[in-house]
Amino acid sequence: MFLLGVLLSFNYLDKTLPKVDDKKFVEILLNEANISNENTFKSLLTSLFKKIKKPAELLFHEYQTPKVLKASKEEEKPKSEEEKPLIYLYNSHQTEEYAPSNFVEFSINPTVMMVDYVLEDVFNKNNYQTIVEERRIKDVLNQNSWNYNYSYVASRTFMEDTYLNNPSLKFFIDVHRDSLEKDRTTVVLNDKSYAKILFLIGLENENYEANLNFTEKINAKIDEKYPGLSKGILKKGGAGVNGVYNQDFSSYTILIEVGGQDNTPNEVLNTALAFAECFMEVIQTEEG
C-alpha cells in the first residue's frame, strides 16, 4: 500500500516525532484518499504537526478521572438541539491493539480507540453528535485496587458520569477487538480487505431482548450491504460469564468486536466506515 511505503521512507522522523495517539493517527488515515504522491504525504504530516502548538499534545493524554465512582452533575451551558450528543463511544478494554505494521517506526501503536475516532468523525459530519470516552479505564482500576476483570465496572463509571451530564445520549457502543488468527478476522469484499465484525449480547440483564432486537437490525443491515463482513451475534450468559456487559444501562447499548490483533489499520478503517454507514441507516428509523 502506498501509505505504508511512504511511511517507511520517513524513518528519519523517528527521533523527532512524539508518540502519536489514535486520534491523530485517524486524522492521517482519513486523509489518505487525498494522498497521491510522497510530497503530498510529507506535506500532510508537516501540516498536521504544525497545528499542534505543544508537542506534548500529541502524546497519550493523561486524563483525569473522578475520585469517586458517582460524580455530581456539572453546571453547563444549555445546548441547542443540534449540539446535544446522541451517541457515546467507549472501550471497556482500551488497550487492545491492532497490528502496528510499519507504523511502529513512527511510534504509532493503533488500539481499538482508533475505531471510536473514525466513527466520531463520520457521525458528527452526518449531524449525529458523538462523545468519545477518553478517560483511562486503568485509572479507575488503580484507584479502586481492581484487577482487569473489573474493566466493565470501571467503564460503567464513565458511562453514568457522562450520561448524567448529557441526558440526550441514546446510543452506547462499546468497541473491542477479537483475539483470533487473522484468517478468521479478515474478509475481502470487492477487492478490499476488511476486519470482520462480531456482536456480543449478554443474556443476564433486563434489556436483553431490546438490545438483541437493536443489534439484529444493525447486523441485518451489514449482511445486506456488506455480506460476509459480520460473523453474527454471539450470546453469552451463565456461570463464569459476565452476561451483562453494561447492556442493562439502556435498550440501545451494544458491544462490537472489530477485527483482531493481526488486522491492519486500513482493514479496521474500512470496517469502521462500513459499520458507520449501516449504523446510521438503522438509527434513522429509530429516531423517527
Per-residue pLDDT, 120: 93
Mean pLDDT of 208-222: 96
Distance CA 152, CA 135 (A): 14
Query: Residue 177, SS3?
Result: strand
Model confidence pLDDT, tens digit, residues 61-76: 332 333 323 344 444 5
Question: Which residues, listed in sequence order, are joined to residue 172 by a DSSP beta bridge?
Answer: 88, 253
- Mean pLDDT is highest, among 98-102, 134-138, 167-171, for 167-171
| DSSP label at residue 100 | -
pLDDT higher than 80, residue 60: no
64 φ/ψ angles, rounded to the nearest 5 degrees: -80, 145
Per-residue pLDDT, 80: 60
Distance CA 231, CA 251 (A): 22
Pick the CATH number of 84-286 from 3.40.50.970, 3.40.50.300, 3.40.630.40, 3.40.50.11890: 3.40.630.40
Neighbouring CB atoms inside 10 A of 268's CB total 24
Per-residue pLDDT, 232: 97
Prediction pTM value:
0.75
54 or 116: whose pLDDT is higher? 116
Per-residue pLDDT, 245: 94
In b/e form, how buried is each residue of 13-50, taking b as 16+ CB within 10 angstroms? eeeebbebbbbbbbebbeeeeebeeeeebeebbeeebe
Q: Which of 18-32, 75-89, 99-113 has the lowest mean pLDDT?
A: 18-32
Question: Which residues, listed in sequence order, are joined to residue 256 by a DSSP beta bridge?
Answer: 175, 199
Bridge-based pairing of strands 230-236 and 186-189 is unpaired
pLDDT higher than 80, residue 22: no
CB 231 within 8 A of CB 196: yes
pLDDT higher than 60, residue 59: no
In b/e form, how buried is each residue of 119-136, taking b as 16+ CB within 10 angstroms? bbbbbeeeebbbbbbbbb
Per-residue pLDDT, 26: 67
Per-residue pLDDT, 110: 80
Per-residue pLDDT, 264: 85
Average pLDDT, the chain: 77
CB 208 within 8 A of CB 280: no
Per-residue pLDDT, 241: 81
Model confidence pLDDT, tens digit, residues 230-275: 999 999 988 878 889 999 999 999 999 998 888 888 888 899 999 9
pLDDT higher than 80, residue 18: no
pLDDT higher than 60, residue 10: no
Per-residue pLDDT, 206: 84
Contacts of 58 (CB under 8 A, 6+ apart): 17, 18, 19, 20, 21, 24, 49, 52
CB 131 within 8 A of CB 88: yes
3 or 30: whose pLDDT is higher? 30
Mean pLDDT of 127-135: 93
pLDDT higher than 60, residue 150: yes
- C-alpha separations of 71 from 79, 156, 160, 166, 190 in Å: 20, 12, 8, 13, 48
- C-alpha separations of 90 from 39, 165, 172, 204, 270 in Å: 36, 16, 8, 21, 19
Domain ranges of the chain: 84-286
Mean pLDDT of 150-157: 93
pLDDT exceeding 70 applies to what percent of the chain?
Answer: 69
Contacts of 121 (CB under 8 A, 6+ apart): 26, 30
